Amino acid sequence: MQSKILILHDYFLYKGGGERLVISLAKNLGADVATAFIAKDAFDPREHGITTIELYKEKPWSQVPGFRYLQVQLSFLFKTKFVQNYDVIIYSGDCLMAVIRSLGWRRLFGRVNQTSPPVLSSAEERQNREPSPWQRRGQGEVSPRVNIAYMHTPPRHLYDLYQERLRSYPLWKKIIFVPFVLFNRWRFEFLCRKLDVIVTNSKNTQARIKKYLGMESVVVYPPCDTLPFRNLLPNDCHSDRPSQGAEESRNPTMTRSLDYARDDSESDYFFSWARLYDVKRVPMIVEAFTKMPEKKLVVASSGPELEKIKKLAQGHPNITILGWISDEQLVEYLGKCLATIYIPMAEDFGMTAVESMQAGKPVIAAAEGGLLEIIDDTKNGLLLKSGFSVNDVCAAVRQLTPERASAMESACAETAKKFSEKSFVEGMKKVIEEFPPEAGPPMAERM
């Protein structure tokens, strides 16, 4: 019997890696998607032919600090009764309040399910493990549905970035923030223990889940080849440029958007498209290029730090801030840059780095978090050691010459092959197949 699958994602607010992952998974599994809301400039699953349930339409007052969080959580608690119509529910982002709807109040305080990863290496291990959740369904201990979380990370403001966030707040915010964190840690951990399995995006996040939640998880690396990223430049140190007329004929809008990159050379600009949040440290990148007028930087994306970054870039013609760009523009800008820069704080995984390598572009990156699973220093990028400064960023940029970047192209391509959409989908299917629907009760008994 074919499983009926639903993917819950907290909200589609940006054009980010997590949102792209959900769309990829839904398309490949034939799953429906449900989300709190879809913002105007975000990816929209409906544009990909995916059946999508939007719990509410975001209004101006929804952006009031704290109100959006409350609205999202209450929506997943009170507006998700429809989850009971599905066999398998996959949770992405902070939407675990819907677990309550999946289990029902009676089962919510029953047996804790999550003990060990379901993906086992041998038939003997399968025989020796505890009874599966499906085998316990008849005892009323757990939900008749399989509940799987694809955990990008335990919420960072609740765990690894808690102290840093707390230090940044004035006293009145601290008074609110501390009990907020204590309650939400309890809520998050309680609901996590009601899941059948946790899947995560890297060994780095797997260790974080073990450290903060005390739980096991399965690593399934995310898909990083969902767009046709490729090197759009010649191999001779990227010095030749294609005919501008031909480029305009193919995509005149794109050509106009790339005029800046053509001012001097097709390949002499560095590229950043991380979301403009404090943890991504994009202002540090911009500040570095204010000290290097001979080097060019293109920043694409948006977020709370956009205005700050624009101010930093004022008076520096070597820096261009684009804001949001389309997927087609992203393919072009990435394909024609010299290299990319990605220096977030202890990144969960680092899809941006792999996408860069798919285009044959080396990455200047922070030697932290999941990026250590991707980047081999001096082979497919340059790693900045922990505690690096703006001057360290400048030094790395100067080291990564066109010749050196070109020499890293093949190593980048080999790295990118490890993180394909095919491998991601196969990994998720393997997890789901541990809980075959034919072992569970008929759908009619679950309604």
Interval 394-419: pLDDT, tens: 999 999 999 999 999 999 999 998 89
CA–CA gap between residue 147 and residue 400 (Å, rounded): 46
Other beta carbons within 10 angstroms of residue 304's beta carbon come to 10
Tens digits of per-residue pLDDT, 132-148? 444 444 444 445 789 99
Q: What is the reported pLDDT for 118?
A: 45
Q: Which helix (H) or strand (E) holds 444?
A: helix 443-446
Task: Taking residues 340-360, report their average pLDDT.
Answer: 93
Q: What is the reported pLDDT for 150?
A: 97
Mean pLDDT, rounded, of the chain: 84
CA–CA gap between residue 342 and residue 393 (Å, rounded): 10
pLDDT of 119 over the 50 cut: no
CA–CA gap between residue 291 and residue 251 (Å, rounded): 34
pLDDT of 91 over the 80 cut: yes
Comparing 162-176, 229-243, 374-388, the range with the smallest average pLDDT is 229-243
**Which amino acid, residue 253?**
T
CA angle 58, 59, 63 (to 5 degrees): 85
Task: Taking residues 425-442, report their average pLDDT.
Answer: 71
Higher pLDDT, 81 or 386: 81
412 close to 380: Cβ distance less than 8 angstroms: yes
Closest CA to 36 of 67, 79, 99, 4: 79
Q: What is the reported pLDDT for 252?
A: 33
Q: What is the reported pLDDT for 228?
A: 87
Question: Across the strands, what pairs with 200?
Answer: 151, 219
Where do the H-state alpha helices sit in 79-194?
98-103, 105-108, 123-128, 133-136, 162-168, 171-192
Closest CA to 309 of 287, 335, 340: 287
Q: Which domains does the chain have, with CATH numbers?
A: 5-223+423-446 (3.40.50.2000), 244-418 (3.40.50.2000)
State whether the Cα torsion 416-419-420-421 is positive or negative: negative
pLDDT of 99 over the 60 cut: yes
CA–CA gap between residue 214 and residue 211 (Å, rounded): 6
Structure tokens at 372: 């250590």
Q: What is the reported pLDDT for 429?
A: 94
93 close to 188: Cβ distance less than 8 angstroms: no
Comparing 172-186, 243-257, 295-309, the range with the smallest average pLDDT is 243-257
Reported as a pLDDT band with limits 50, 70 and 90, residue 60 is: confident
Please give the DSSP secondary-structure letter assigned to residue 222: P
Q: What is the reported pLDDT for 288?
A: 97
Query: What predicted TM-score, i.e. pTM, was given to this entire model?
Result: 0.77
Beta-strand runs (E) in 250-380 = 269-272, 296-300, 319-323, 339-342, 363-366
Structure tokens at 339: 């290299």
Reported as a pLDDT band with limits 50, 70 and 90, residue 66 is: confident
Reported as a pLDDT band with limits 50, 70 and 90, residue 199 is: very high
**Which amino acid, residue 203?**
K
Q: How far apart are the first and last CA of the chain?
A: 17
CA–CA gap between residue 411 and residue 178 (Å, rounded): 46
CA–CA gap between residue 160 and residue 164 (Å, rounded): 8
Please give the DSSP secondary-structure letter assigned to residue 132: P
CA–CA gap between residue 444 and residue 360 (Å, rounded): 51
Q: What is the reported pLDDT for 244?
A: 34
Closest CA to 361 of 383, 341, 388: 341
pLDDT of 226 over the 70 cut: yes
Higher pLDDT, 106 or 367: 367
Task: Taking residues 3-29, report their average pLDDT.
Answer: 92
Chain centre to alpha carbon of residue 109: 31
Reported as a pLDDT band with limits 50, 70 and 90, residue 115 is: very low
Task: Taking residues 169-194, report their average pLDDT.
Answer: 95
436 close to 125: Cβ distance less than 8 angstroms: no
**Count of helices and strands (H, E) across the chain:** 21, 13
Closest CA to 356 of 330, 323, 379, 325: 330
Q: What is the reported pLDDT for 63?
A: 77
Q: What is the reported pLDDT for 266?
A: 53
Higher pLDDT, 233 or 221: 221
Query: Could you give the count of Cα atoms lying within 13 Å of 140 in the half-sphere of its Cβ?
Result: 3
**Which amino acid, residue 224?**
C
